[in-house]
Structures are given as structure tokens and as C-alpha cells.
Amino acid sequence: MRISFIGSGKVATHLASACALQHQIVQIMSRDLEHATTLACRVGAEPIHQFEQLDASIDLLIISVSDHAISSVIQAVHPYMPNTLIVHTSGSTDVKILSDIHSNAGVFYPLQTFSFERDIHWSDTPLLIEAEQANSLSILNALANSLTKRVYHYSSTQRLSLHLAAVFACNFSNYCYDMAKQTVDQAQVDFSLLYPLILETAKKATQHDPVQVQTGPAVRYDHNIVELHQNLLLKANRPDLKDIYQRLSQAIIARHHTQP
């Protein structure tokens, strides 16, 4: 399959690199030609930075840019590639942001967290695809199956619910790790002591219903410990963390002590 990318950030870099193992990456386009060149060299593609340079003979164009930029990109691209299958990689953006302008449109969303520091295990990464035309869906399905064994045909509404859930499961939980590290750093305690706990918690969440394996002072209704922790955060001059601790504790109590 002949594929081009618009974007050279984290998602584009990982996805283009994975696709390049089995497919031909034709062009990498970025507003910053240097960034386009860096990724293009990695995947054996041509770097470009202008829409009129796009090769319309490709099989698929993947738009992998920030969500707010997708609309302006498809408006700029459509005149040069009116018949090409074009998809975006966003978890929260409706397919209609493309299809209202470009009829041959779809979504190719990898449900994963991306960073330049770590490789992605694509064979276990869920890929959510969507397209309004049957032939387009077949193309996306073939590409997805060349990368992973976990391919799902979900609507934009379903994908949005997963993206919201991912924010809770990934982004918010990572910030909790950040807060935990801030807490022990201030007391000069080794954060790595929490690693086994973090890993076991994540493992339990993948093997059981999270509500059934909730632990801690809030679920035990241990007000003395909850108050002790909050006072400790106030003494450390961290009212921000105290407020988050209090809100999360109240949410856990409400979840577990108001159920029938």
C-alpha cells in the first residue's frame, strides 16, 4: 500500500515507522520541513511542506495532527486529492469533520499512549477504524490487520467514549503518579519503592472489574487516615494536592458506600 502522512509528531512517527515495515511511505508533510525531513529519512519517504506537493496517486493519506487543526487541513488538502482515501488518527474527532468536505474519508485511531522515548508494541495495540464507504473500510481493515491482531470497527460516538475513558485510565492516572512522586520527593523518599504497587494496581485493573478491587482508606471509610493525609499535605504547603486528595476520597466513598 502507498501511504502518505500529514504530520510528524509522536503518533505520525510511530505509525509511519510501523507502516513502513510492510508498506511504502511516499511522502511526509509538515509545516516545518526540518521535522518532515527527520521522519521522512526514517521511513524512506519524500519530505514536503506544501499541500500542492502532495502526490494524489497514493492509496491512503493519513492526517495525524492536533485535533483543532484537522478541519483546516482537510479543507486545504481536498482540492489536490479529491478522490484519495483520507483519514485522521484522532480519538475524539467525528469522521464527519472529514466527510462533510471529502466524501472518501475515514478514521484510523490507535488506542495507545505515544512518546518519543518508548517503542510501541503494535501487535497488542487496538486499532479503531471507521469509513462511510465499503471499499474504504476494506482498505483500512487491511492496513490495520497488517499492524495488529486487535482491529475494531467502531462509530465516532463509540470511539469518543473510549477516548474519554483513556483520559481517565492513562492521562489522569499518570498525573496521579506525578503527584505521588512530588509527595515522596518532598520527604526525600525513593519513588521507585512504589513501582511494584503501581504495576500490581494496573494488573488488577486489567484482570478484574476495578470497582471490585478498590483499596485504601476511603473505601474502608477510615476517616482518621484520610484526615491525617490531608493535614500532612497542608503542612507540606500543598493545598492543591490536599484538594485533589479530598475530592478523590469523596468520590470513592460515594461510589462504594451509596450502592445498594
Helix (H) or strand (E) holding 130: strand 127-131
Indicate the average pLDDT of the chain. Answer: 96
Say what the pLDDT of residue 258 is.
67
Distance between CA 43 and CA 219 in Å, rounded? 50
Asked if pLDDT for residue 143 goes beyond 70, the answer is yes
Give the residue extent of every domain in the chain: 2-154, 160-257
What are the C-alpha distances in Å from 44 to residues 4, 26, 34, 61, 253? 11, 8, 15, 16, 54
Per-residue pLDDT averaged across 136-163, rounded?
Answer: 97
The CATH number of 160-257 is 1.10.1040.20
Q: What is the pLDDT, as a whole number, of residue 260?
A: 47
Helix (H) or strand (E) holding 178: helix 173-186
* pTM recorded for the entire structure: 0.90
Over 90: is that where the pLDDT of 132 sits? no
Please give the pLDDT value at position 61: 98
Asked whether 95 and 107 are in contact (CB, 8 A), the reply is yes
Give the Cβ contact number of residue 64 at 10 Å. Answer: 24
pLDDT score recorded for residue 235? 95
As a whole-number percent, the residues of the chain with pLDDT over 70 amount to: 99
Angle between helices 10-19 and 33-43 (to 10 degrees): 30
In words, the CATH class of domain 2-154 is alpha beta
CB 16 within 8 A of CB 67: no
Q: What is the mean pLDDT of residues 53-72?
A: 97
Q: What is the pLDDT of residue 259?
A: 52
pLDDT of residue 252: 96
Query: pLDDT per residue over 154-163, tens digit each?
Result: 999 999 999 9
Give per-residue pLDDT as tens, 188-234.
Answer: 999 999 999 999 999 999 999 999 999 999 999 999 999 999 999 99
3-state SS class at 159: helix
- pLDDT for res 151: 98
What average pLDDT does range 173-190 have in this prediction?
97
Question: What pLDDT is attached to residue 257?
Answer: 80
